Amino acid sequence: MADLLIELFSEEIPARMQGAAAKDLDRIVSGALAEKGLKAEGSKALAGSRRLALSLTGLPVKQPDVHEERKGPRVGAPEKAIEGFLRSAGVKLEECRKQNDGKGEFYVAVIERKGRTTAEVLAEILPEAFAKLPWPKSMRFPGSEVRWVRPLHSIIALFDGKIVPFEFAGVKSGNITRGHRFLSKGEVKVADFADYLAKLMEQHVVVDGEKRKAIVLNDAREQAASIGCELIDDIGLLEEVSGLAEWPHVLIGTIEDQFMDVPPEILQTSMRTHQKYFSLRDHATGKMANKFVVVSNMAAADGGKEIVAGNERVLRARLSDAKFFWDGDRKHSLESRVEALKGIVFHAKLGTQYERVERIKALAGEIAAKIGADVEKAKRAALLCKADLTSGVVGEFPELQGIMGGYYAQHDGEDAEVASAIRDHYKPLGPTDSVPTAPVSIAVALADKTDQLTGFFAVGEKPTGSTDPFALRRAALGVIRIILENELRLSLGFVGDDVLSFLADRLKVALKEKGIRYDLIDAVFSLGGEDDLVRLVARVEALQSFIASEGGKNLLAGYKRAANILKAEEKKDKTSFDGAVETTQLNLPEEKELFIDLKAAAQAIKGKLEAESFVDAMRTMSRLRKPVDAFFDKVTVNDKDPALRANRLKLLSTLRSTLHLVADFSKIEG
């Protein structure tokens, strides 16, 4: 066994592409080797601003020898069929033998192939593998027809310590790389992966992206703590800056006091978007601190003073722009901006943002009345909720829509509940985001999302497969989370059947993550008439507990048996056995007992379901297990007497309909 080291050294690779490129390199190279009968025991792919690296360990030094007998066409088959077989097998006709299977003779190709050395295979497949890297954006550079992300400078390809010779994009493979662009000089010759990591570390390059992230995170937290602050965590920014710096150094800068009256969201977004700075929170007050973290790619002789000063100058200009927008926006009230929404198209088939606001306003009022929120406040918040789209700050930072509306509403003296509802009506923006909890905020957030869903469904813009350009899945999950986490008793019938079905599918996804079976959701939903998500989930949870019990499993088995018998007999007789049971035809004690118990259970279950005592309903249903088992043990359903047979099938149909009061057991697996 031997190891393979690959490095592709180039101009700067965008940080957003690095992680995926490293995984793709591993996948493509490992897959190409596996197709040749060469599987590695382990792999490690790394990426940085100027390099992709891959280490494969435990590779065989040679392909296995191949001995294969491949059956071909019959003797006398059309010439083209024989030629195609010989071509695919890589043999000549005289190298084939004939074999008789009793129906006639056919050709058999005996393939004997000595395995090639892994080095030979690598020289062949690596250029092809590199060319297959699926870069989101690529370029063709002088001297090559190959498209790649950035101009390539060198390639390391070492197998078992020896260079694998090939050429890709005009660059020949070797064992040479380079260190940090400014902190190292000259070429770096490497022998294997361990040597590669160690020598690049000496040349001020941390190759492993996870180590770079750890350096940035730990140093930023330590330095923040030393000045009485804490880092505001930002995973996306951490990924980005660790992809930009090969030798990361954390430095602390200061935000000028003149900018500290600007909302923290504006400061944080401006610093993150334009400068890749982390924000800090004052440990004592919990508010945003007048400090920021910059990650440098240099270890400066002066400890970073000049780097910090330069970044502070750049930040001053950036925040001056942000403050200009903030100050200018407050000269106009939110209400005065609503009219301008008539000039913003929401969607060609759904009209302008103004028309959308009118719909949201009506919906918010209806929902507010249903959940006990202040109707007029909900309508007011809905009227103003999109007005900040015309502001300068949101024009510069679209991700602050809603948040800025809340600030402008506060400045205008709007009611606090109205301002909060404007701020929170986009929530939740993702699975980790919080949901609105104030009644007026809930009403507007639900109105916004249900209008989005019903509108796009109405014009045929439904999600398909992995395509969801209007984020309708996110909107649906938002509706579900708002309702369930606030335990809202809200009927969703107003959204329409298609949207309700879509919400049911999203609910399955959400509940599956909590360990609730999707088939049980189907079993409850398929009964129809259930559009209260809180009640639905409570019912499903009770059903899951029941089905997991021994009694539940046995009753489900009895139901399946009854349903299968009914299905077969109804198909055979071409009729339904849903009619009333004739009590005079109940001869055996077991069928009499089952009839009595079913009648009592149906009445009790209906009452408990109406009272939403779902656990008690399941307990009542579980008591049917004993008479059902006894019935199948002692009673022959398909009796020779047609009248007895029909009546017993009606009894099984009654069992089915009684259990269907709780859920459609035919949807339950197992």
Per-residue pLDDT reduced to its tens digit, 266-312: 999 999 999 999 999 999 999 999 999 999 999 888 989 999 999 99
286, 314, 329 — which closes off a domain?
329
Task: Give the whole-number percent of the chain exceeding pLDDT 70.
Answer: 99
Round to whole Å and give the CA distance between 533 and 406: 30
Backbone angles phi, psi at 112, to 5 degrees: -120, 115
Same-domain check for residues 291 and 348? no
Whole-number pLDDT of residue 91: 84
Same-domain check for residues 167 and 300? no
Same-domain check for residues 412 and 342? yes
Nearest to 622 by CA among 578, 564, 559, 532: 559
496 torsion bin: left (phi>0), alpha (psi -120 to 50), beta (else): left
DSSP string, 456-495: HHHTT---BTTB-TT-HHHHHHHHHHHHHHTT---B-GGG
Same-domain check for residues 449 and 490? yes
Question: Does residue 504 surpass a pLDDT of 90?
Answer: no
* CB 307 within 8 Å of CB 386: no
Choose the weakest-confidence range: 15-24, 43-52, 182-191, 507-516. Answer: 507-516
Please check whether residue 506 lies inside any domain of the structure.
Answer: yes
CATH of the domain at 36: 3.30.70
Same-domain check for residues 213 and 239? yes
Backbone angles phi, psi at 253, to 5 degrees: -115, 175
Question: Does residue 528 surpass a pLDDT of 80?
Answer: no
Please check whether residue 536 lies inside any domain of the structure.
Answer: no
Averaged pLDDT for residues 114-143: 90
Question: Does residue 143 surpass a pLDDT of 70?
Answer: no
Task: Give the whole-number percent of the chain exceeding pLDDT 90.
Answer: 78
Rounded to the nearest 5 degrees, what angle is found at the Cα of 559, between the Cα atoms of 553 and 563? 145
Nearest to 628 by CA among 606, 607, 601: 601
Whole-number pLDDT of residue 185: 87
CATH of the domain at 575: 1.10.730
CA dist 136 → 139, 325, 625 (Å): 11, 34, 59
Round to whole Å and give the CA distance between 51 and 11: 8
Averaged pLDDT for residues 467-492: 94
Q: Quickly tell me which residue has 């099984």 as its tokens.
A: 652
312, 329, 346 — which closes off a domain?
329
By DSSP bridging, strand 105-113 and strand 66-74 are antiparallel
Residue 655 carries which side chain, given as an amino acid letter?
Answer: L
Question: Does residue 670 surpass a pLDDT of 90?
Answer: no
Question: Whole-number mean pLDDT of the chain?
Answer: 93
Nearest to 5 by CA among 40, 32, 50: 40
Same-domain check for residues 350 and 496? yes
Tell me the pLDDT band of 554, cut-offs 50, 70 and 90.
confident
Please check whether residue 527 lies inside any domain of the structure.
Answer: no
* CB 280 within 8 Å of CB 288: yes
Question: Does residue 112 surpass a pLDDT of 80?
Answer: no
Same-domain check for residues 129 and 218? no
Question: Does residue 133 surpass a pLDDT of 70?
Answer: yes
Whole-number pLDDT of residue 527: 79
Same-domain check for residues 276 and 128? no
Domain that includes residue 146, residue range: 2-62+117-202
Tell me the pLDDT band of 18, cut-offs 50, 70 and 90.
very high
Compute and round to an integer the Cα radius of gyration of the chain.
35
CA torsion 434-435-441-445 (nearest 10°) is: 120
* CB 118 within 8 Å of CB 38: yes
Please check whether residue 526 lies inside any domain of the structure.
Answer: no
Nearest to 615 by CA among 517, 528, 545, 521: 545
Please check whether residue 542 lies inside any domain of the structure.
Answer: no
202, 218, 240 — which closes off a domain?
202
Select the more confidently predicted residue: 480 or 65: 480
Beta-bridge partner residues of 189? 176
Per-residue pLDDT reduced to its tens digit, 403-425: 999 999 999 999 999 999 999 99
Whole-number pLDDT of residue 234: 94
Same-domain check for residues 590 and 455? no
Same-domain check for residues 389 and 460? yes
Per-residue pLDDT reduced to its tens digit, 363-414: 999 999 999 999 999 999 999 999 999 999 999 999 999 999 999 999 999 9
Please check whether residue 525 lies inside any domain of the structure.
Answer: no
Rounded to the nearest 5 degrees, what angle is found at the Cα of 595, between the Cα atoms of 590 and 596? 100
By DSSP bridging, strand 152-159 and strand 171-174 are parallel
CA torsion through residues 274, 275, 278, 282, sign: negative
Neighbouring C-beta atoms of residue 451, cutoff 10 Å: 24
Same-domain check for residues 310 and 434? no
Structure tokens at 507: 């609910």
Whole-number pLDDT of residue 279: 97
Please check whether residue 524 lies inside any domain of the structure.
Answer: no
Round to whole Å and give the CA distance between 612 and 632: 32
* Bond from prior residue into 134 cis (ω within 30 degrees of 0): no
Rounded to the nearest 5 degrees, what angle is found at the Cα of 656, between the Cα atoms of 651 and 659? 125
Same-domain check for residues 388 and 404? yes
Select the more confidently predicted residue: 523 or 328: 328
- Domain count within the chain: 5
Round to whole Å and give the CA distance between 592 and 317: 88
Question: Does residue 544 surpass a pLDDT of 80?
Answer: yes
Please check whether residue 541 lies inside any domain of the structure.
Answer: no
Whole-number pLDDT of residue 372: 96
- Indicate the angle between helix axes 353-371 and 439-458, nearest 10 degrees: 130
